[in-house]
Chain A
Amino acid sequence: MNYSRREILNFATGGLSAAALLTLMGDGARGASRLPDQEPKAKRVIHICLMGGLSQVDSFDYKPELQKFHGKTMPDRVKPDTFFGSAGLMRSHEWDFRQRGESGLWVSDLFPHLAGVADELTIINSMHSDSANHTPATFLQNSGFQMNGFPSLGSWLSYGLGNDSESLPTYLVLPDARSLPNNGASNWSNGFLPAQHQGTLLGSGDQAVRNLFADQKVSRATELEARRFLEKLNQKHAAARPTEDLLTARIRAYEIAARMQISVPEVVDFKNEPDEISTMYGLDQKETADCGRRCLLARRLLERGVRFVQVFSGGAFGAQPRHGWDGHENNQINHAREAKLIDQPVAALIKDMKQRGMLDDTLILFTSEFGRTSFTQAPPGKLGLGRDHNPEGFTVWMAGAGLKKGIAYGSTDEVGWKAVKDPVSWPDFHATVLHLLGLDHEQLTHYHNGIERRLTNVHGKIVKGVLA
């Protein structure tokens, strides 16, 4: 049978028969890999997800004009709808910008380590979003829709490409140690896709995956014999129902589960990583230890066949002090603190992936749900210290497979407020990511409640300008 998983799922529109057909194809427990629509450039993804809104004008979007406008009112044509409804005077960038590496990309001193790998970055300065509201904007970033209930990018990739690992889930989520994003699991939800495509939270230590081991003491002998007995019972039950593939899939699922009990503790244990790697990722420093551990873990997961790893920088909105990039009160203090946590680890990840040759078939995404305003969040006529949400123009970057390296694509206006040249929407961004993974965003669909759903809804243009 030479039809794809997706076609089968479409055909069966969920339910038992879908699962059964899947298992017919050989491997219901993990889902067989689907043939890509075209030659993939990347095989796997690390998504670094900045919660709260990274200020583009303080990081990757250099606006010399902004210095001139500092302390002045906005140019007339800038009449923004702000989230908190008060637009103060303009504020210049807080960190100096310099041209970096051979590419001469502008990166500010906010990210000194990332500046060192600027030649690997593919910066998009012209992102824009449909929402200035954290949660809907975060959903948009992850699933292309503002509501709960739609599959996230990682789930679509799991659905579209299947798993290359025999012993780990396809899509793993590594949250910030401070807190989870608002709405928790809805952010890595499989939505209406089958449950096997949801993101799995991976913590640290023995129970890095929930229910990996029983929390009461069970002897090794008991465990082994009980499992053997279970398998015997299940084999017998399945044998009497030779056409019910779900029953065979269950037996296999228990086998893989048993394998995970070995593979998960192994992947979260860094004892075999050399010291220079630990140092490089900043595991030896208080500020960088959490993000460093997760970046290194991301690399290790990818090495073991995991398809999509999401690393969060920041968690709950509204936490005090803030857990993330939401610099309403004092953007300078906020961003300085947050950047310190991730700059070195993320730069280390890029260097490490490159030195292992993994960057050639891996995509690293570095995004936040929107940017920040170039004017301050203050009463009219006042120069404040904070910046408000800005969905009109902001910056994300990608690095790795299939991309033009060391370029900045698109641009905002002279004050870095609104995307004006080559604007890129989230559906465009998603279409481009899928394309790099060999998937056609118009073909990767799943029927749900009346619609052949896509990650890109009815939108999405591949951003050709960033492709190598």
Chain B
Amino acid sequence: MVVNWRNSCLPVGGLDLMRTPHELMKTLRRSILLIETVTCFLTGLVSGRDGASHFDRVVAPVLAGRCLECHSGTEPKGELDLSGGKAAFTGGESGVVIVAGDLEKSALWEQVARDEMPPKHPLPEEEKKILREWIEGGAVWGEDPIDPFRFSSGGRAGYDWWSLQPLVLVEPPSIENDAWSQNEIDHFVLKGLKENGWEPSPKADPRTLVRRLYFDLIGLPAPVEAINRFARDPSEEQWAGLVDELLASKHYGERWARHWMDIARFGESGGFEYNTPRHSAWHYRDWLIRSLNDDLPYNQFARMQLAGDLLKPNTVEGAAAVGFLVAGVHNEVFGKNPKMKMAGRQDELEEIVGTVAQAFVGMTVQCARCHDHKFDPISATEYYQFAAALDGIHHGIQKLSRSREGAEEKARLESQRAALQRKLRNSIASRSEGRKETNTNLIELKNSLEANQREVVYQLSLKLLPTTWAGAGQATREGDGVVVRILGGDGRVIAAEVMKASAWEGGGNAHAFQNHSFSWKGKGSGPIRIQVQSQLPGSGRFGGAIDDLVLSEGETIHFQDNFDQLKQTQPPGRQEDTRKRVFHSARSEHWSHRGINAIHAVEHSEGNLAVQFFSGHETGGSQEAVTPEEKKWEAGIAKLDGEIAAKMVTEVFTVRSEIPGIMRVHKRGDVTLQEGEVAAGGLRALRGLSSSFEIEGDASDGQRRTKLAEWITSPDNSLFHRVAVNRVWHHHFGQGIVSTPNDFGFSGGRPSHPELLDWLAIWFRDHGYSMKKLHRLILSSSAWRQGSSETNLEARKRDGDNRFLWRQAARRVDAEAFRDGVLFASGSLNSKMYGPPFKDVRIHQVPPAHYYLAIDPVGPEFDRRTIYRWHVRGQRNALLDTFDCPDPSVSSPARSITTTPSQALSQWNHPFILRMSGRLAKRVEKEAGAEIDEQVKQAWQLVLARIPDEEELSSARDLVGRHGLATLARVLFNSSESIWID
């Protein structure tokens, strides 16, 4: 594989600031295409294999990028299909369009030359030349049909795109007389600088370094004592010690969790019309803080967010981690129109797919929902495979036990309860009706099958219909389901499989079942019997419905029934909600029907029936405990219920896992145009990693998500590693090595230091995915410790964006660091961690919609760090909002930084700032005494971490004398210096 580095590096020798990046890239690509073309033609005649490879590399990308959108597929425009050699040479409705070696007879060329094709967007000269020379040179075709994804072109990325290739370890370059470099990072950076003839900027002074370090690692102002301590001994040892101290601080997790919450588009209300509050979504935030503070390896960090509920089932920890998946907006209003419901579900999935793919692999997979990705080699089919992997996810609330012990205890109690329940039910059933549980409400195959041979694996599959029921009283509930039993000739059960309905939601409809199959190894010999029964007979509910039951042994099918021959003894009724026809008390020729509860036939599509199990109230017999023993069991159950409830004290807004349906490709993203089935899978574009999950289309949510998590975090997934280190880098340098942390595709940025990016990615993988180690590495580099002043005028002129890192980036603090810093300086910061958020909004309800009105409550609870604020959508805290804290609607990999009059108004007049100014004044009076000079100095140190100079001191003295200390505090909180990190 030839790696496409065409666009992967910055042009050395300066950037052309007069051009947009797109123009710049176009120029680059043109020149490279030109070089390739020229080289090719200089080497002589083009024919045979050379011609084919030239076609694949040079010509096919032009055709794919410019022509195939219209001239391919089932209905190519003008009946001209240019995607394959044969069709292309056959031509379209106006005849032959390509005549090898003859430009004048080639209508394709004619139209291209006259700028008629492609319509509205004539080809650039370079591409015209490619086509002209190709036809002139004999029009040799290569790969047939053209794989539009194979090679990158001027308009899109192919499989050879730089970010999709395996990681390559490049030894850090060594530079002669290098007294600057502290570690490998510096070698790479210095090489880039030297190639431009530049030197790094001088090291920043101790105050700047310590302020910057505090901001980067914990997001709080550096105390003047810490600065002074380091200034006295600015040695490497002291520096390393300070870095370690801050990495060990509990505030580290609070700082970096906030970065991750931006990526996770974390919000604490659903958005859209209802904007329903999420009172228990904060568990995810706490999980992030804990995990980061514990330095949970990044691959586990990712796996937990994708499948924590499966990896650590029934734990708050697991449920909290997957809060990531459902942290986004969620529309709860679909109307009653089934098409709108389906489209709504697909919108939900797109939201989740987009976030997962951008967050972990930096690919905008969601762009391929309606058509193949316009810029990256991701097909619409792959979009639906990716979506299939996440299709078991729904937004919901789980009640869980806070501790692992609690979870285990809960499971133990539940099994005790189930045992008592079974005893009680059997006892009641046998007493009142003379039947055992296994005897009622079932169908059994009339004739046994002579299929059971020794040690042979049988497969039994049956389709369980996705059905919805009306009225909660009749619906499936948790614990309901259908049991399939295989019995030996002696009546002994040799295999049993329980198929559960998916979760029932009060007020909604239970989407009951889907395709299901299971295998067992047959043992013994003789006839076998099949029983299907609804669980919880006599409960007055539907157990479920089944269709298409198949028993097979390898290729041999022993038995099959689709139940379409069910005899209908009564006129049809109608299921209220689904409007489906139901025939009560149906009968079958193949099956005997036991128990007195009704077995119905439901017509789920025209002429297609399924058996439906229903256990009516009246037929289940008395459910009451009568005998002393039964009453004892009943009391035991009630007691256990109480104990279990007590264990499940914690509500967590998290994933509600449901049995996913079969995913189909939706043509043009339209729910009414569903095509072939797809199984869950990854992206083919990633080299060195199989995209197949090797699971079936009907795999469970657990199988799908576990596989997805494995695929994403595979050591061979180069994007996973590149994207991760780039995010950390982004926050330490103000921009990533790739400046678009969520997009490593064609539309994203190109790496400024591609070799460094790979080196870091491999280093990270080899060092156990430890984020703290990665921070330490970066923070010990000379590159990070450079000053930020723009003394290098030449570099500023040619690389104003500082892509080559000729200086450190000066930064304005973000909204959270601003608010937290003010709290800290005024002595008000309440460092209470974790738990329910503080709410600086008032909920106003216009049922069922919610509005959130910003308020300014006062009290220690509201002086916690901003990360503990309730982050609802559609309400904007003036102070945070104007400091570019995003409304969490989509994943936000980098904050924008704006300066507006509204920001100035908020910073100057917001009641919080005025209140904190008063507190700072009180604190200073207490700490510095009555001397105004001392007060000014103390205020300066608390807010700006330095002593005022003479001029500042004298003006401030005047201000305090006439207008009070609080006025000075307000000014300092508004000063550029307080929100600026050099």
Contact = CB atoms under 8 A, between A and B. Distances in A.
- Looking at A21, A229, A260, the one whose CB has the most chain B CB atoms below 10 A away is A229
B975 A241 contact: no
A179 B846 contact: yes
B980 interface: yes
Interface in A265-322: 316-319
Interface in B508-530: none
A186 to B, nearest CB: 5
A452 to B, nearest CB: 7
B700 interface: no
Interface string B1-25: 0000000000000000110111000
A77 B887 CA distance: 44
B267 to A, nearest CB: 9
A28 B896 CA distance: 14
Interface stretch (A41-49, A81-89, A94-102): A81-89
A468 interface: no
B863 to A, nearest CB: 19
Contacts of A85: 335-337
A182 interface: yes
B887 A185 contact: yes
A134 B273 contact: yes
A250 interface: yes
Given A133-B334, A210-B878, A247 B896 contact: no
Given A16-B734, A29-B899, A247 B980 contact: yes
Nearest to A178: B846
Contacts of B955: 229, 232
- Looking at A146, A191, A447, the one whose CB has the most chain B CB atoms below 10 A away is A447
A195 B882 contact: yes
Interface string A415-446: 00000000000000000000000000000000
A186 B874 contact: yes
Interface stretch (B45-53, B389-397, B482-490, B738-746): B738-746
A319 B846 contact: yes
Contact of A83 (B336, B800, B812): B336
Contacts of B675: none
A237 B959 CA distance: 19
- Looking at B802, B852, B882, the one whose CB has the most chain A CB atoms below 10 A away is B882
A83 B905 contact: no
- Looking at A169, A254, A319, A323, the one whose CB has the most chain B CB atoms below 10 A away is A254
B36 interface: no
Interface in A191-233: 191-192, 194-196, 200, 209-216, 219, 221-222, 225-226, 229-230, 232-233
A179 B900 CA distance: 27
A13 B874 contact: no
Contacts of B971: 226, 229-230, 233
B849 A234 contact: no
Size band of the interface chain A makes with B:
35 or more
A449 B743 contact: yes
Contact of A132 (B337, B894, B974): B337
Interface string A128-149: 0000111110000000001111
Contact of A135 (B333, B887, B908): B333
B359 to A, nearest CB: 11
A256 B900 CA distance: 9
Contact of B20 (A7, A23, A184): A7
Contacts of A211: 878, 902, 905-906, 908-910
B905 A209 contact: yes
A377 B735 CA distance: 55
Contacts of A451: 364, 367, 747
Contact of B851 (A135, A184, A254): A184
A185 B898 contact: no
Nearest to B982: A241
A3 B18 CA distance: 7
A244 B810 contact: yes
A209 B904 CA distance: 13
B507 interface: no
A15 B894 contact: yes
A200 B796 CA distance: 36
A219 B963 CA distance: 9
Contact of A13 (B739, B810, B964): B739
A147 B896 contact: no
A450 B887 contact: no
A234 B975 contact: yes
B208 to A, nearest CB: 12
Given A148-B887, A222-B967, A17 B977 contact: no
Contacts of A389: 335
A230 B974 contact: yes
Contact of B890 (A219, A232, A449): A449
B975 A148 contact: no
Determine chain B's interface SS by DSSP, over half rule. loop
B748 A133 contact: no
B918 to A, nearest CB: 9
Contacts of A222: 962-964, 967
B610 interface: no
Interface in B934-982: 952, 955-956, 959, 962-964, 967, 970-971, 974-977, 980, 982
A180 interface: yes
A65 to B, nearest CB: 26
B20 A16 contact: no
B271 interface: yes
A84 B900 contact: no
Contact of B881 (A30, A195, A209): A195
A185 B876 CA distance: 7
B901 A186 contact: no
Contacts of A161: none
B326 interface: no
Contacts of A182: 272-275, 849, 851, 874
B347 interface: yes
Contact of A253 (B735, B876, B900): B900
B448 interface: no
A219 to B, nearest CB: 8
Contacts of A212: 905, 909
Contacts of A241: 789, 810, 982
A214 B899 contact: no
Contacts of B874: 148, 182-186
B303 interface: no
Interface string A1-41: 10100010011111111110101000011100000000000
B21 A449 contact: no
Contacts of B876: 185
Contacts of A169: 901-902
A148 B963 contact: no
B676 interface: no
A229 B961 CA distance: 13
Nearest to A450: B364
B429 to A, nearest CB: 41
7 contacts: A12-B801, A14-B894, A132-B335, A256-B901, A323-B846, A449-B740, A450-B748
Interface of A: 1, 3, 7, 10-19, 21, 23, 28-30, 81-85, 132-136, 146-149, 169, 179-180, 182-186, 189, 191-192, 194-196, 200, 209-216, 219, 221-222, 225-226, 229-230, 232-234, 237-238, 241, 243-244, 246-247, 249-250, 253-254, 256-257, 260, 316-319, 323, 389, 447, 449-452
Interface of B: 17-18, 20-22, 271-275, 329, 331, 333-337, 339-340, 347, 351, 354, 358, 364, 367, 375-376, 734-735, 739-740, 742-743, 745, 747-749, 789-790, 796, 800-802, 809-812, 846-849, 851-852, 873-876, 878, 881-882, 884, 887, 889-891, 893-894, 896-906, 908-911, 914, 952, 955-956, 959, 962-964, 967, 970-971, 974-977, 980, 982
Given A13-B749, A253-B899, A450-B745, 6 more contacts: A221-B963, A241-B982, A256-B901, A257-B902, A257-B904, A318-B848
What 7 A-B pairs come out closest when comparing CB atoms?
Answer: A149-B889, A450-B364, A85-B336, A148-B889, A257-B904, A135-B273, A83-B335
